[in-house]
Each structure stands twice: as C-alpha cells, then as structure tokens.
C-alpha cells in the first residue's frame, strides 16, 4: 500500500463474523442448485436435500425436521421458496440446506442482487421470469457499498484455501481491487454465465470460510 493512502476501511461487522456460533447446526449451501425448478425437484425427493452426514458429529442419520417458507423480496416470479431442515439423530443439530441461488442474508435471490448491481440478466430466466421489481434505494446503496469495498478479506480466503486455482485468482488481483473486481475475475476464470456469478462466488466463499461474507 502506498504511504499516502489511508488503510482500507473495516468491513461492516456483519460481513466478517469473528466468534464461532454457539448454535447447534446451521446452513449448508447446495452449490449445484442454481434455479427454482431444480430446487423444487430436490425438495420433493425425500433424499434430495438430506445431508450425507452431519457436519458437526459426522453421524450419517438425519431426518427431516421441518419445512420453512423463505420470503424472497423483489422477485420477478414467486416471492417465496420452501426450505427443508434436517435434524441429526446423533447430536440433534439442525441443518437447513439452501439452494445456491438464494442470497442467505439479503432476502433476495442472487440474480436479483446481481441484476441490481451489474444489470446482468440470466440468459435463461427461471420459472415465471418477467421484469425485476425495483429494489429500494437504501438497499441498493448498502449493496453497492459492499460491492465496491476492498476485496482484501474475501481475497485472503481464496489465497489461503489451499486450492491452486483460487489462490491464483487472488494473486492476480491488484491491491486496490474491490469485491466487484474479484467477482469479475471469477467470472472470467470460470466462464460462469451472467446472472449466476454472484451466487457461485458467495457459495464458494461460504464453503471455504463461513465466517466471511461476500455481501
Ligand atoms: Zn450431528
């Protein structure tokens, strides 16, 4: 970093979680589920979303605990998605499995977030498709600030994950790179289709380091 520049601002507290969660269980992201049709197929298959083992105690017996409705704001199609939760017989941890296209903390799908930030529209609109309803200005501002913040925390996750392809991606970023730059580099390196890039990067970061959030 050059001497005349101030250090980058700290990320919003919610974007880097320092203390481990005391709650039993948590969220598993199904990275291969990128559209609503696939999600519903998996949901109606009794084993579609059943974790193969409990990430906490490695027990292999998990039962359906319940189904929850998740509201998706500003969605062109249906504004809710059903989410299944499984309970581990061994330790009673409860795991919800989220399809990769749902932005966990933003009450939206990633395609809505990506469309808002970049104008990208998925080449194959899912389900009912249609126009994207407007996202409130304050929300857009908040997303944009996160989008344009320095990529350093997220890049560190990639650099230290032990996978050469992600380490190389992080090494190719300039010191001043923003999260937007990092996402663009990912799209270039993986040829991920427009409208699906944010979902893919967010799921990757979550898998490598659940304490750090892209957005
Ligand atoms: Zn368990």
User: What pLDDT sits at residue 129?
Assistant: 56
50 C-alpha vs ligand 1 centroid, how far in Å?
13
214 C-alpha vs ligand 1 centroid, how far in Å?
28
84 C-alpha vs ligand 1 centroid, how far in Å?
17
94 C-alpha vs ligand 1 centroid, how far in Å?
8
Residues 166, 208 contacting (CB under 8 angstroms): yes
How far, CA to CA in Å, does 160 sit from each of 46, 148, 169, 171, 206?
37, 22, 11, 11, 14
For tokens 């795991």, name the residue.
95
User: What pLDDT sits at residue 130?
Assistant: 64
Beta-carbon neighbours within 5 Å of ion ligand 1: 54, 56-57, 59, 88, 90-91, 93
72 C-alpha vs ligand 1 centroid, how far in Å?
29
Q: pLDDT tens per residue, the chain (215 residues)?
A: 444 455 555 556 667 766 655 678 999 999 999 988 999 999 999 899 999 999 999 999 999 999 999 888 877 777 788 999 999 999 999 999 999 999 988 989 999 999 999 988 765 554 445 677 788 999 999 999 999 999 999 999 999 999 999 999 999 999 999 999 999 999 999 999 988 999 999 999 999 999 999 99
137 C-alpha vs ligand 1 centroid, how far in Å?
42
45 C-alpha vs ligand 1 centroid, how far in Å?
22
29 C-alpha vs ligand 1 centroid, how far in Å?
17
The enclosing H or E element of 197 equals helix 197-208
pTM of the model: 0.84
CA separation for the pair 177, 194 (Å, rounded):
20
31 C-alpha vs ligand 1 centroid, how far in Å?
21
Structure tokens belonging to residue 58? 């490695």
User: What pLDDT sits at residue 1?
Assistant: 42
Strand spans (E) along the chain: 25-30, 62-71, 80-88, 94-99, 102-103, 108-109
11 C-alpha vs ligand 1 centroid, how far in Å?
33
């Amino acid at each position: 970093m050059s001497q005349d520049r101030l250090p980058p601002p700290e990320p919003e507290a919610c974007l880097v979680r320092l203390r481990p969660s005391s709650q039993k269980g948590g969220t598993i992201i199904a990275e291969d589920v990128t559209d609503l049709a696939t999600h519903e197929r998996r949901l109606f298959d009794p084993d579609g979303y059943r974790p193969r083992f409990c990430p906490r105690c490695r027990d292999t017996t998990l039962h359906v605990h319940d189904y929850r409705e998740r509201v998706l704001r500003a969605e062109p199609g249906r504004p809710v998605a059903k989410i299944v939760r499984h309970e581990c017989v061994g330790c009673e941890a409860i795991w919800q499995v989220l399809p990769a296209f749902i932005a966990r903390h933003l009450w939206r799908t990633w395609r809505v977030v990506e469309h808002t930030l970049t104008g990208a529209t998925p080449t194959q609109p899912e389900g009912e498709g249609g126009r994207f309803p407007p996202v409130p200005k304050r929300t857009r501002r908040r997303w944009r600030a996160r989008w344009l913040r320095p990529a350093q925390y997220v890049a560190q996750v990639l650099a230290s994950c032990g996978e050469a392809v992600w380490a190389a991606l992080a090494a190719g970023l300039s010191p001043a790179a923003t999260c937007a730059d990092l996402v663009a580099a990912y799209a270039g390196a993986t040829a991920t289709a427009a409208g699906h890039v944010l979902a893919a990067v967010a799921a990757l970061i979550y898998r490598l380091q659940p304490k750090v959030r892209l957005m």
